[in-house]
Structure 1
Amino acid sequence: MTALQRDPYDYDTGGRPVTVDRREGPYGEVVLRRRGAGSRAVHEIIANGCFLMDTSDGRSERLLVDAALAALPEDRPGPSVLIGGLGVGFSLARAADEPRWGRITVVEREPAVIGWHRAGPLGAISARALADPRTQIVEDDLLRHVHTAPVRYDALCLDIDNGPGWTVTEGNGGLYSPAGLTGCRERLTPGGVLAVWSAQPSAAFEKALRNAGFEGVRTEEIAVARGVPDVVHLALRAA
């Protein structure tokens, strides 16, 4: 399908998911689906047949940004933030709602996801943030950006796949490897914070953060309706 052509099966099916857009991207198939209609509609992103995220809640994605900002000194003027993964846009929208943030950079490697925000239904969440002059969208692989970007950030807020313990797309695991975490540390300014969203707590990942040279490693939880809580892992680069 070309950008946001209407799927011939996009109609109300009594609560069953409806395909809004399906594309073959550089890393496989990505699908935008809708459940429900009108103000109660929920959109969800599926990658290579695996559910990634939806618009039903967003508390943990907002916590990702809030916790990172809270970990920075209040006297640091206009801190910059890199959001890794545009997703459904909750983290970006939260960052743009906070006047304390300075430069807001979002790295997203799937052009379809960017298109769903710029000219599709996910713009309902992100349109105001995308129009914010502080916001820049970079179409790139996050791991490559971490290792090659010419700038540093005060905060890295990473929401890739389902977290360090459960990656869907081949290659994303490299972000959480020793080399990937070292790259994240080097991409931070002194005293900067790394915040990583995960679908489940991981003591092993906390240990990996410490082994990569981070300080102040801790985990914040967000309870979910069923199952283990979503979490945000936090770690600091030495000042």
Structure 2
Amino acid sequence: MTDHTVKAFDDDINALRALIAEMGGLTEDAIDNAMKALTTRNLDLAKQVVAGDTRIDELDAHIERLVVQTIALRAPLADDLREIVAVLKISGIVERMADYAKNIAKRVETVTANSRMEPLSLLPSMAEIAREMVKSALDAFIARDAKLALQVIERDRAVDDFYNSIFRTMVTFMMENQKMISESAHVLFIAKNLERIGDHATNIAEMVHYVATGEKPPEREKSSMIDPMER
């Protein structure tokens, strides 16, 4: 590529990274605020999380347009094309994580009506790990940091362990409190949303590792638990 084309491509990449960073920051806030709304019974904050998802969707669409434009105008090859494709995939993943945060916020009104469920006390810690994974995965992408990406992948087990613990506790709780099965199911769905956020952060980290090194990271150890909520 000519010097002019290289400069233009670098500008496009930097713009895409900035958009991913903005989108990621909004998603981190959505996760944090959804959990704050849940633990403080703040329905107004929950509604703000739901409404804020529109901006994240707009960023996702903008990134997709810019990626298509960059490929058409700059015709990137090899490592450059790999990074452009990674941006497009990561944008879609971040958008889905934001949807999970929105789903949590939508359940706040139902769950907060019942405070006797012990697993509620575990959800904030689980959410904090998941949110930190999202931040670290996106930081790794911006910096092309394969080492940080591996650290994110390793943390996924902690989120899975939280989910498994909550799942077992909720099953026991539902057996002993059959009148609260519906509300308990909402708690399980919240835990599942957090578990999926952790999985998606791990997927981003795996992509970052591949973009930075050209090699796939080691295979993750899968949970042996059979999860009927797995889709």
Q: So what's the TM-score if we normalise by structure 2? A: 0.31
Larger relative CO (CA 8 A, sep 6+): 1 or 2? Answer: 2
Larger radius of gyration: 2
**Whose strand fraction is larger, Structure 1's or Structure 2's?**
1
